[in-house]
Every structure is written in structure tokens, then in C-alpha cells.
Amino acid sequence: MKNLIKLSLLAIFAITLVSCGGDDKKAKKEKVKITTKKKAPKKAKTEKKEKTYDLSNKGIGPIKSVTLAADVDQAMATKGAEVYKAKCTACHKVEKKFIGPSPMGIFKRRSPEWIMNMILNPDEMVQKDPDAKALLMEFNGSPMANQSLTEEEARSVLEYFRTL
Amino acid sequence: MKKTINIIVALVIVAGLFSCNNGGTSNKSQGALSSSAAEKVYVAPGELDEFYAFVSGGFSGQLAVYGLPSGRLFKVIPVFSQDAEKAWGYNEETIPMLNTSHGFIPWDDSHHPDISQTNGELDGRWVFINGNNTPRIAKIDLTTFETTEIIEVPNSAGNHSSSFVTENTEYVVAGTRFSVPVPQRDMSIKEYKGNFKGALTFISVDPEDGKMAIKFQILMPGFNYDLSHPGRGKSHGWFFFTTYNTEEANTLLEVNASQNDKDFIAAINWKKIEEYVNNGGGTKMPTNYAHNVYDDKTHTATSTMIKEVLTVNPIDIPGAVFFLPTPKSPHGCDVDPSGEYIVGNGKLSANLTVHSFTKMLDAIENKKFAGDAYGIPILNFEDVLAGVVEQPGSGPLHTEFDGKGNAYTTFFISSEVVKWKLGTWEVIDRKSTYYSVGHLMIPGGNSRKPFGKYVLAMNKITKDRYLPTGPELTQSAQLYDITGEKMELLLDFPTIGEPHYAAGIPAEILIPNSKKLFKLEENEHEYATVNDSEVKVVRKGKEVHIYMTMIRSHFNPDNIEGVKVGDKVYFHVTNLEQDYDVPHGISMIGAQTSELLIMPGQTETFIWYPKQVGVWPFYCTDFCSALHQEMQGYIRVSPASSNLELSWGLGD
């Protein structure tokens, strides 16, 4: 049947081809030419010598604003430590750079909103956010896995990071 | 197939560009199919099908999931046969699912899927399917699309008139095709007649968790029970089974089972029998059958042998079982959405017989019996007959309904689908199938509420319909649009195994319930490693247990030393991903088993017997990220006499 469909449609195609006037045909033929993909010219790479961090970048995702109290909420941080251990330690170690970066000193590098968005929305972050894209390259394309944390869990992990 | 359709559509577009609109050229005149047929089955890239079709895999033993109208194959759900791709029946967790009273059975012949119902309508919780050869009923959970329960059916053989559900999924039935001695014993085959029994088994389904249990078996005369369907609406509480070989022939059935002018449809008042057994009726018989349950929390199946079954002798329950004479060796036994009409598709008959439930009740009420068979009353054919579809084709097999007063019957010998009207019995339309159609399926077509948009015909022979692939050709299905007065053939598509029967359901019913991952915090697998601090390798004599994790894109541990020739090495591997559609695989060089394919949050186990000294790699088999190729590890295997202690690590 597949062949039948193809044949019958080819026939339609052929008939319509023949049925057209010459000039018209040429003009229309150009329209359906398959164009090959043009490669965009590569931008010259500029290597940064010194790392500067944009702490105003909140990233892309559900978190628009986070308020950190003056003191660490210990109960929340304890919960966060548990979540971190269960869902993050396969790739992130506090004491060293591992599959991904260590969370040690993260608040000097990233805004709280950015951190939570990276946890909650990593797929979009590594595609669109300039800092997340740079990290993906730095870590050899190893993707930040979406571990399906709730916002509350991500917030508790953030609180835990404040204790490091 | 998608690509082909794309190409076809592209051609149509190109053809359209070239045409000069000079009038008169109609697409319809150009071939057997109009372009509108292509449009009707075309599901554009990124768009979704309207229906799921669960199509039996026949002698593959599995259940295939297709989209309609596109005919695209989404998944082959392993049920009764080992599947190395998914480690079904290979990994330690699912091996118990294939346990039976005959031991581990790696294969079966799957036949008739049926979706669970509530109030006579599809509810989309489970789909059931029967294993024909070593009689079993399986239940597939439609949140995970995985087989979660298999129950063996004792005293049965050729489990064919199965696995159809009652209106509220109170029961899934399993009827024997081959009658056998019950209980099995050493006796002369020639003494079949009058001595063999046909067991019709009613398996209860727990309304909450779906757990199956054999409630009772009716030990019927030794006929062949071919197909069945439940009553619905007014006939809810009854079940109908077609029979053939009422001659009780034990040899050359091709001839000897086709002697009687009429066989029977057995009408079973199961509510009456349920009441009887609830009040202590029936006889407990010693037996032996397996009940296998897969637990989504432990990700592990257990197999329990059950030693007793409750049997019922039909003549002990007056008013519970009757025979409706039906010409000749009927196959399909189909009940219309109202529950009034019972269609007997007499496969060797020229006509199609339709019985009336109301008339049947009336005949029973007035005790108008033509006689009895082994004490079971036989009703008069004329008393229960609603009507006859005269000479609609040859070899009627199976009928479904569109919910608009029409019925659709397949004719095997004349290779066609015939549409006819309930009540007037007139033939409205007929369309050829290519070729030798068996069953057909309308989504919900055997419920109170069919979705009468498409009918799917499943063919036994394809011959010239596809590119040749040696002596074995693809199996196939054909999709027809049934929204108009006349049916329209839209699509051929290949299927796996032999598609005996199918069950369809609107996608919108299943989509919201489809599970995306297993939560790590709910993982109760005995050997789960739910975070990296629990990773370890433990020796117990010659057994080595590796508690391993996997996440994009590494194993932990990925270097292990201290394993010795002669050890039995268990890989207990947990996928730590908690994201949708990120399974990982693992395989070990020389492992005499399949890979594991582990869903997010799941734990699975395989065993490796290292036989040679050396350093041997394992790797991830399912492309998971840009660093998938880096997802690998090594195990050092030392001589059996080595004193090397176990050690392991990752990134050390």
C-alpha cells in the first residue's frame, strides 16, 4: 500500500509537471530548490584572563527573587544537607571540584536566584543562560542533571550552601 | 513510516506547487487512495496521536503499543517472553515473573488484550493479556506500561477465551481452549469424550490495587472454549463463551470437530456463581500454580506457588449456565454496547447469528429447553435468535461496535470487513483487507462507550503488501476511517508477532497518569544504593555484591579490584537520575545475560561470572549525554588463589 501511495502521488506529481506551461514551470522550479545549510561564520574566541562574576544575573527559571535572612535557618539548612546528600553528591563534592563545581563559596560567584534556577531548571539554563553555558563548557559538556527537586527542597539546599 | 509520510506529503506539496490550477484534475482520480487518506493519518512532527492501540504480539509473547491514526510503534511491552533489550526475564528482579508450575518459561503466545473498565467504560488503569500456551493472565500497569502481575491458570490448556474483563473489572476471565483431564492423570486419549473438562476461570481484580486472585473455576463439558465477552448494561452479570468441538473429538479435529450443524455459546450467570461460592459453595481442589507480582517500590518480583483452587460444577447451580445453539464452530463472541445482542461469528457458517439477551432470559424464565448437554440446559435456537445477517461474507470471525448502531465484522476467508446495522441486520458496506483478516478493533468497541472513529483490522497474511523480507513477511494491521456511511481504508502498517487482537483507548485518558520516574526516596529495593555515600563492594565467600550508582555520565565505583576467577559477581545498580526520560544501561563483557536498562530512580541486578584473569570493562549502553562514551569502568579479575583485597573507587 505504501508503494501504491507513493506511485499514485508520483503520478500526480508527474501529471502536474506536464500540464504546466514552460515559463511558468521554470519560475516555480526555483522556488522548490533545496537550499543547503549555510554555516554561520564562527566568532573569534576571546579567552578571559580573569574570572569576573555577574552577581546580578538571576538566571532563567521559576525563581525571580530570594530573600536571605541575616542568620542562617539551621533547621532548613539541615534539611538542605540531607537533600544535597541524596540528590546532588553523585556529581558535586564540597571538598573538591568533581563532575560539577563545588558549592563552596558559591555566593561569591552566583546570585541565590541563579543557584535555585540552575537546580530547578537546568535544561533551559545550560541552553540560554550565559553563565550556565560557560559552566557546561568548562565541565566538558557534562550536563547539570534535573533531579526534580521541589522549590522548597531547592531553597533548603541554598540554605545549606550558606553554612559551607 | 513517519519519514515515508513526510516524503509523501512533501511530494503532494511539490505537486501542488507545480499544478497550474487549470481545473479538472482531481486527486481522487489518480489512484486507489485520495490524498485525504494521507492527511488523515499524518501526525505532524511534534504532534501526538489521538489513540493508543495495544496490539497483541502473538507468538512474540509481548504487547505492542502503537499510536493511531499514525500507526507508529512506541513500545513493545515485554509480558510473557524474555526481552534482552529491557532485561525482562533476565535481571534478577523480573526472573520470578516468568515462573510457572512448569518452572521458568521464557516464552508464550499472547492473544487478547483488554483494558480495565468502570461502569462499562474504559478507565485506562490496566490492560490484561492472556498467555495461550502455558495458561497465564498478565496485568500491565498503564502508569508505567510495565507488566506488574502474572497469574497462572491451573486446569487450563490453550488459554484462548481470555482475558476479557467485566463491566467494573470485577473479573478477568480465562477460558480453556483445549479440554484436559481435571485433575491431570494418566489415561487413554481415546477416553476424552465425557471425561475431559473445560475450565472457565474467573479471576477477581482488587478494585484498589488491581491484585488478581482466582475466585472460582467452572468445570464445563470437554468442549473447546474459543472466545468470550462479558455482558454489559442489561446483561451485566453474565459472560458469554463460544464453543466448538462440541463433538468432543480427540483426533483430526479439522474434520471431526466440524460435524455438528450447531455448536454453542455458553451463557454464564457469574453473579449467581459468585453468590454460590460466597455462601460456601464449590469444591476446593489441590493444584499448583504460580502467582507472580512485581512491586514498584522494591522494583522486584516475587513468585508464590498456590496449592488449591475452588472449582464449581455447573449442574450444582441451577439457573447459572445455559447453552445457546450457534452455527457452526463460532469464533468471536461479541456483545453490543447496550448488552442486548450477542453475536456468534460462526466461522464455518455463511450467515452471522445474533442472539437476544431479552429473549434468552424469557426462554429461561419459561423453561423452554431443547434438551441438555451433560445436565446443562440447551435453549432453542429460534427462541433466542434476534436476527441473522444473511450471507455477509465467508468465514466470519469477530465483531466490534461503533456505538452508533453499527457492527463491523471481519471475514477471514473473503478477506473483508463488513459493516452492518444492528436490529435491521442489513449490510451497509464492505471493504477488502489485505489479506485474511483475523480480529478487528474499535477503541472501546467492546464496552458501553465505543469511540467509533477508526477500525483497526489485523491481518494474517500480507503477501505483496510490503517489501519482501525472505520467506517470513511482516505481520500487519490496516486502519479504516468509519466516521462516514462507507468505510475508507487509510493506512497499512507493520506489526510485531501475530496481531491477534487489540485494545484501543483515547490518549487523553492515559497521558495524565503516565509515570515519569521512580522516586529515589521511595526505592525499597533490597540492594538499592540511593546516594553515593552508600556505594560499596561486599564479599560473602565467593559472592561479590557491587552496590553501584549511575548518573550522567559515570558509574560509582568505576574501578574495582579484588574480584577473583570463580566468583559470582552481583551488579546491583541504581540509577540516581530524577529526570524524565533519562534511563541508563549497563553491560559487562562476557556476562552471560542481557544488559540492564534502568529507569530513573530504579535498581536492577545482573550476575557476572568472571572466568578469565584480566582487566575487564563495563559501560553504559543507552546514550545518555555528550559524555556517554566516557561512561565506563573496569574490573580487575585476579586468579582464584589471589589474596588481593576488594577495593573500589571513582576519580581517586
**Interchain proximity B15–A12, CB inside 8 Å:** yes
Q: B-chain residues within 8 Å CB-CB of A98?
A: 651
Mean local confidence (pLDDT), B383-401: 95
Within an 8 Å CB–CB cutoff, is residue B27 touching chain A? yes
Query: Is B389 in a helix, a strand, or coil?
Result: strand
- Structural domains in chain B, CATH included, are 2-22+30-41 (no CATH), 51-253+260-513 (2.130.10.10), 520-649 (2.60.40.420)
pLDDT surpasses 50 at B370: yes
Q: At what angle do helices A22-31 and B2-18 cross, to 10 degrees?
A: 140
Q: Which residues of A touch B489 (CB under 8 A)?
A: 1
Predicted confidence band at A107 (pLDDT cuts at 50, 70, 90)? Answer: very high
**Which of B27, B533, B554 is facing A12, going by the closest CB pair?**
B27
Amino acid (one-letter) located at B124: G
pLDDT at A29: 43
CB < 8 Å from A in window 600-629 of B: 625-627
Mean pLDDT of B55-83: 98
Is residue B30 very low, low, confident or very high in pLDDT (cuts 50, 70, 90)? very low
- Say how far apart CA B206 and CA B180 lie, in whole Å: 29
Can you tell me the mean pLDDT for A98-123? 96
Longest dimension (CA), chain A: 82
Q: Distance between CA A125 and CA B295 in Å, rounded?
A: 36
Asked if residue B383 has pLDDT above 60, the reply is: yes
**Can you give the three-state secondary structure of chain A, one letter per residue?**
CHHHHHHHHHHHHHHHHHHCCHHHHHHHHHHCCCCCCCCCCCCCCCCCCCCCCCCCCCCCCCCCCCCCCCCCCHHHHHHHHHHHHHHCCCCCCCCCCCCCCCCCCHHHCCCHHHHHHHHHCHHHHHHHCHHHHHHHHHCCCCCCCCCCCCHHHHHHHHHHHHCC
Q: Does B286 touch chain A (CB under 8 A)?
A: no
CB nearest B551 (choices: A13, A86, A91): A91
Q: Do B11 and A147 make contact, defined as CB atoms within 8 angstroms?
A: no
Res B547: pLDDT:
98
| pLDDT score of B190 | 97
Please calculate the CA angle B552-B554-B558 and round it to the nearest 5 degrees: 165
Cα–Cα distance between A24 and B19 in angstroms, integer? 10
**Percent of chain B having pLDDT more than 70?**
95
Q: Output the pTM of the full model.
A: 0.88
pLDDT above 80: residue B21: no
What is the dotted CATH code of the domain comprising A74-162?
1.10.760.10
Nearest to B267 by CA among B304, B305, B314, B310: B314
The domain segmentation of chain A, as residue ranges, is: 74-162
Question: In chain B, count of helices (H) and strands (E)?
Answer: 7, 44
| DSSP conformation letters of B561-618 | EEEETT-EEEEEEEE---STT--EEEEETT-SS--EEE-TT-EEEEEE---S-EEEEE
Average pLDDT in chain B = 94
The amino acid occupying position B265 is I
Alpha-carbon span B50 to B55, nearest angstrom: 16
Eight-state DSSP code of residue B48: -
- Return the minimum-mean-pLDDT range out of B22-26, B611-615, B648-652: B22-26
Q: Which candidate, A134, A110, A139, places its Cα nearest to that of A45?
A: A134
ipTM of the predicted structure?
A: 0.79
CA distance B355 to B358: 9
Alpha carbons B277 and B314: distance in angstroms, whole number = 12
